[in-house]
Structure 1
């Protein structure tokens, strides 16, 4: 029987814990019916400094970390929306225990924003990771040694796993079930929970908004020009033609301030505009392309798929009202 430890972190998101318990309980019931024995020994691990904790499930009595000496798999749930740095400070007591479990051979998985606590253990250093699309920049900024992949739904890097936001939890759970149990069990679970298996990207869920969290007035002026004139197919040279900066220095300053190059910034603005037009279904795809500032249909489709993960037609079919 595989020893499964689920952390009851302070400020955990109840729906995250509920999803983990529901899936693994379902798998255990499946194995009980077919083999007479459950597959997972499920333990809830309370915060080391909390003697009492609200029970998310009446079937389980949360255990102290001192009572759990070994795990095969440790799961870190998502945090509630809020101040993640504060949440990390309140959960630092979990960090040495998770490291200890990993040192004894346990694999570790985080779900959504639980990736921040996993990163705080150091186990994600030089490993690929993902999290909720709205939190990827913060994860990368706070933990620069983590290789953050914003687009993927699930990462699996040498026994350390992460998932994107919301329903991506189920995709990581299916991945774990296929690895720990078998493909048949994963398919059975996918059918029970009506999960579309093998989704590879979460980028089409992202809403990108330009960053102004810097103090470079020249870059701010350039951003405003790009946002006002993107439909005119404005170039970088036209953006800076009367600004006191060379093209080379402008590109360096712009990327330092915003995290992307000027060309990437223009591309993201245009693709976000195209997404909104496709959602509103006010024009055909060629008209959307032109309104977004493109005139080459092939280049537009390729860039849209690269950034969004879907073709313009697929995106409209998925999100048009």
Structure 2
């Protein structure tokens, strides 16, 4: 028997139907919240969530009829929301996506000032970041979008490895299935742990997953015109298996070490040493999953000579040990 925490009033939830929203993201939000409403309905209790789909005034012609059976309204036709959820974007051009949805920003600022909670799914965090509301606060986003997020919003305390962050009335989640963990967190806040557990069981969600680092893939910055940095990248990628120092790898590049490090970090967001470590760890991940090499072979073939140092760096970067990573992702 599950006990329910009955909310004092129905929570007004606004899900933004942004331009370039990811359909799966919106569908997951609706499915989970409606499931919680059903729990209450089955025992004749007031449903905790009233859900509206919100859009820009200029997009009104696209939503002239009910959308999936849900009430749709322009953001300028809404009263104060208690909870606003921003879905993920389906495009890789996040800068363009934020620009396309810029009209939401003053409305989000006003809603937050009036007391609303705001939650983002995956890359939806970029739109919230553009409001300035996250400055000085913690946030996360899709692991593969973290570098772009950090560069776009240096005033935000990015927690790249986190599945969910909560800082005051602002919530963010990592990529894809992390949205379920965000929703469980909100349900726990609004309806109590019992309902959150029941929801987790319905959707087969592992409630204890707090880390998303092991889903990341190192994606080197390529879209730049700095020849010195490009040469450094090529040197590292060509010789990462060597156990030599970074100084030895870049000794033929016509620039001082200090100049290389400065320009490299400015362009890529990380130092050459960090770049080397990420390159080696990414190589080790592939060897662990795609080959049957023994651990000593994996260590040597990814450029390490010290097993202890390798395991320490791997765990810090990936969030689990090499053996755990192989067990989790190796296809048998």
Please state which band the TM-score falls in when normalised by the shorter chain: over 0.9
Query: What do residues 91-128 of structure 1 show as CA deviations (whole Å, max 9, x unaligned)?
Result: 22222221111111011001111111111222111211
Change (3 A) 1:162 1:267: same
The answer for the alignment partner of 2:319 in structure 1 is 309
Displacement of 1:8 in angstroms is: 1.3
Q: TM-score, normalised by structure 1?
A: 0.94
Q: Which runs of 5+ in 1 are unaligned?
A: none
Structure 2 CA distance, aligned partners of 1:56 and 1:265? 50
The answer for the alignment partner of 1:6 in structure 2 is 15
Q: Which runs of 5+ in 2 are unaligned?
A: 1-9
Structure 2 CA distance, aligned partners of 1:101 and 1:38? 23
The answer for the alignment partner of 2:193 in structure 1 is 183
Query: Which segment is superposed worse, 174-183 or 208-217?
Result: 208-217
**1:85-234 pair list within 5 angstroms:** 85-234=95-244
Structure 1 CA distance, aligned partners of 2:155 and 2:107? 21
Displacement of 1:70 in angstroms is: 1.1
The answer for the alignment partner of 1:294 in structure 2 is 304
The answer for the alignment partner of 2:32 in structure 1 is 23
Structure 2 CA distance, aligned partners of 1:66 and 1:211? 40
The answer for the alignment partner of 1:59 in structure 2 is 69
Give the conservation status (yes or no) of the 8 Å contact 1:226–1:234. Answer: no
SS at match of 1:49: helix
How many residue pairs align between the two structures?
321
Change (3 A) 1:221 1:160: same
- What do you get for the CA RMSD once the two structures are aligned? 1.7
Moved over 6 A (4+): none
Structure 1 CA distance, aligned partners of 2:66 and 2:201? 25
Change (3 A) 1:85 1:209: closer
The answer for the alignment partner of 1:41 in structure 2 is 50
| Larger relative contact order (Cα-Cα within 8 Å, sequence gap ≥ 6) | 2
The answer for the alignment partner of 1:269 in structure 2 is 279
Change (3 A) 1:89 1:218: closer
Give the conservation status (yes or no) of the 8 Å contact 1:53–1:62. Answer: no
Change (3 A) 1:85 1:232: closer
Displacement of 1:277 in angstroms is: 0.2
Query: What do residues 47-67 of structure 1 show as CA deviations (whole Å, max 9, x unaligned)?
Result: 222223356853312022233
Query: Which segment is superposed worse, 201-210 or 16-25?
Result: 201-210
Change (3 A) 1:313 1:56: farther
Change (3 A) 1:87 1:230: closer
Change (3 A) 1:136 1:27: same
Displacement of 1:212 in angstroms is: 3.0
Match for residue 73 of structure 1 among 67, 83, 104: 83
Displacement of 1:42 in angstroms is: 1.3
Query: What do residues 72-105 of structure 1 show as CA deviations (whole Å, max 9, x unaligned)?
Result: 1111111112432332222222222211111110
SS at match of 1:6: strand
Displacement of 1:261 in angstroms is: 1.3
Structure 2 CA distance, aligned partners of 1:27 and 1:301? 42
SS at match of 2:143: coil
Structure 1 CA distance, aligned partners of 2:20 and 2:207? 29
Displacement of 1:213 in angstroms is: 2.9
SS at match of 1:74: strand
Query: What do residues 114-159 of structure 1 show as CA deviations (whole Å, max 9, x unaligned)?
Result: 1111112221112111111222222222223222222211111111
